[in-house]
Chain A
Amino acid sequence: MVENQRWLDILAHITLILGVVVVAFPVYIAFIASTHHPVEFMSGMMPLLPGDNMVNTYTEVLSGGVRAQMTVPLTLMLTNSLIMALSIAIGKIVISILSAFAIVYFRFPFRMTAFWMIFITLMLPVEVRIVPTFKVVADLGLLNSYAGLSIPLIASATATFLFRQVFLTIPDELMEAARIDGAGPMKFFRDILLPLSRTNIAALFVILFIYGWNQYLWPILVTTDADFYTIVAGIKRMADVVDSEPLWNFIMATAVLAMLPPVLVVIFMQRLFVKGLVETEK
């Protein structure tokens, strides 16, 4: 540290605490709202202390008793989200680790062209290419399907890039030693590269899972059949009510529940996640 002064420490802590408050307050509000009766929001005032309706709200949300509001049970939306998030995370990792392997370890014609093509997709996230992508997905008959939800989000360069960097830090001698030890390319990939990128895969999985889970625009576009609603998009639909007040306590309870899976993923994979991001020694 540059200086070790008490007031600097205090200042740093205040800044950090303010940051935490800014991030945590909306979550707190959501949770508080989910513990009140729906009538209490009519006044336009947001209660700041927990109410007495928590058990009731959550049992009803979880048991699917709020069909009037949601048209689909919460568990189905959670399952849909889970399937989408997992497909995106796993699909991206599989595709990108294989393409990085090809680009780093094989010499083939137009290798650099392939690399730059992948690189260029970095500039084309779903939001930019959303109309043509929708057209393609629709023509392929993938609307209202898990494939339609996840495949367009799987192709991406970021992960390929990350794995390429990881592979470049692995000394060539390891590959040469493996060749002398009689390991063919796929065996080398499985026995050496995969275990060595284990922590990076974990870190990427956490990031991609959350990315997939939080998808909002795309699911809203490609799903019209309620059976394929995802939770994040579902929340939005819950608030779109005609001729009545939205049941904010249920909506907020759903939001809180929607936050749980990413939080659990982070908590359980935290150790690997941090290791994957900071570890440099190979």
Chain B
Amino acid sequence: MAAITIENLGKTYTGGVSAVRGIDIDIRDGEFVVLVGPSGCGKSTLLRMIAGLEEITEGEVRIGERVVNRLEPAERDIAMVFQNYALYPHMSVRQNLSYGLKNRGTPKAEIARRVDEAARILEIGAYLDRKPRALSGGQRQRVAMGRAIVREPAAFLFDEPLSNLDAKLRVSMRGEIRALQKRLGTTSVYVTHDQLEAMTLADRLVVLRDGEVEQIGAPLEVYRRPVSTFVAEFIGSPAMNMLDGEVAGGTLRVGGASLPVGVAPGKVKVGMRAEDMRLAGLGETAIPARLAYVEELGAQRLGHFEVEGQRLIAAFPAEQALSDEIALTVDPSALHVFGADGRRID
């Protein structure tokens, strides 16, 4: 087990294309860090640089006290779980689990002990002698995790391990990965494009955008105080509403409503979470909105509105009646105001 320190890390491909740059992340011992971002943001590249599968062109990665830049993946004391599992198809589950240990010259008895231990933890004991192709997706996923566990590495690296599973299995495996990581206490770095997966798994989130870190923080911190419109719209479902507004004379005008705010005058973007929206009471500052349609989620209903030509989503309790023309409001404390450059203004 070890901390992972990433300093000013960058990757430039021959030809000058830069995949990631200037990444600084301190991953504490035993922490579960999730790298999240849209496709092409460099999150997989970053993970593969930690793993040693991708060459580091700038900066350095330390696992524990060691700088691992020049080390082979096998020497970095990490284990990786791949999106397509990458199990060796011609080997039985047992052989898959023990292959890495065998290559390291671990004694036979020790290999057997660790494989049995992993099989017990992951409940894959019943099919240790089967080939991967005889297993379901979820079972293969467990085997892939087993292969990581038996190594007892300093860190687990997960590269979108759940995206090949169906929705229901994904939710349950998510819980299992979380429980397992808590139990083993192994430092983990997990890559996903699914913000919900990221929120539920992470001790800390690293939101990446175009090869750079946009925000690092605990999931709720990122959710409640996104540093930019990018993070605000990426984290949370439905995505945060983003309306154009203007500040003049200490008053924010947005969607036909005026609110007192303490920011500098100018054009701004105003973010409002769907669940922070509610129907305006009498005498409250209100945003007049026209209902476009309603999405029923069972526990809630999502109203999709049009406000001055912009779209806005608001969540209501399931029994809330909605009329076509409606007045919405939001607590000033729940407003997220972003400048013209997309950065948060407080």
Footprint of B on A, CB under 8 Å? 171, 173-174, 176-183, 187, 191-192, 195-196, 198, 281-282
In the complex, residue of chain B having the shortest beta-carbon distance to the beta carbon of A198: B90
Contact A176 B100 (CB under 8 A): no
Residue on B nearest A180 in the bound complex, by CB: B73
15 contacts between A and B (CB under 8 A): A171-B84, A173-B83, A176-B53, A176-B86, A177-B80, A177-B87, A177-B88, A179-B52, A180-B78, A181-B74, A182-B100, A183-B103, A192-B88, A198-B90, A281-B89
Complex partner residue of B82 from A177, A183, A191, CB under 8 angstroms: A177
Closest residue of chain A to B79 (Cβ to Cβ) is: A180
Verify A181–B100 contact, CB threshold 8 A.
yes
Hey, which chain B residues are within 8 Å of A173, CB to CB? 82-84, 86
* A171-B132 Cα distance, complex, nearest whole Å: 15
Q: Residues of B within 8 Å of A, CB-based: how many? A: 23
B100 CB to nearest chain A CB (Å): 3
Instruction: List which B91-123 residues lie within 8 A (CB) of chain A.
Output: 99-100, 103-104
Name the B residues within 8 Å of A181 (CB-CB).
74, 99-100, 103, 147
Chain B interface (Cβ < 8 Å from any Cβ of A): 51-53, 72-74, 78-80, 82-84, 86-90, 99-100, 103-104, 133, 147
Q: Is the interface of A mostly helix, strand, loop or mixed?
A: helix
Q: Is the CB of B53 within 8 A of A179?
A: yes
What's the Cα separation between A177 and B86 when bound, in Å? Answer: 7
Which chain A residue lies CB-closest to B148? A180
User: With A187-B103, A191-B99 given, is the CB distance from A180 to B80 under 8 Å?
Assistant: yes
Residues of A within 8 A of B51 (CB): 176, 180
| Cα A192 to Cα B100 with chains together (Å) | 13
Bound-complex Cα distance A186 to B231 (A): 45
Closest A residue to B72 using CB positions: A179
B100 near A180: Cβ-Cβ < 8 Å:
yes
CB distance from A108 to the nearest CB of B (A): 15
- Report how far A177 CA is from B73 CA in the complex, Å: 9
Chain A residues with Cβ below 8 Å from B147 are 177, 181
Of B53, B87, B133, most A-chain CB atoms within 10 Å: B53
Q: Are B89 and A196 closer than 8 Å at their CB atoms?
A: yes
What 20 new A-B contacts, CB under 8 Å, besides A179-B72, A181-B103? A173-B86, A174-B86, A176-B53, A176-B82, A177-B80, A177-B82, A179-B52, A179-B73, A180-B80, A180-B100, A181-B74, A181-B99, A181-B100, A183-B74, A183-B99, A191-B88, A191-B99, A198-B90, A281-B89, A282-B89
Given contacts A181-B99, A182-B103, contact A174 B73 (CB under 8 A): no
A-B interface, 3 closest residue pairs, ranked by CB to CB distance from nearest:
A181-B100, A182-B74, A173-B86
Q: Find the residue from A180, A183, A198 having the highest chain B CB count within 10 A.
A: A180
Most B CB contacts (10 A, CB to CB) among A177, A178, A195, A281 go to: A177
Instruction: Indicate the member of A173, A181, A182, A195 with the most B CB atoms within 10 Å.
Output: A181
Query: Which residues of the other chain, A, contact B133 by a CB distance below 8 angstroms?
Result: 281
Q: Whose C-beta in chain B lies nearest to the C-beta of A187?
A: B103
Partner of B73, one of A171, A176, A196, A198: A176
B151 to chain A, nearest CB (A): 8
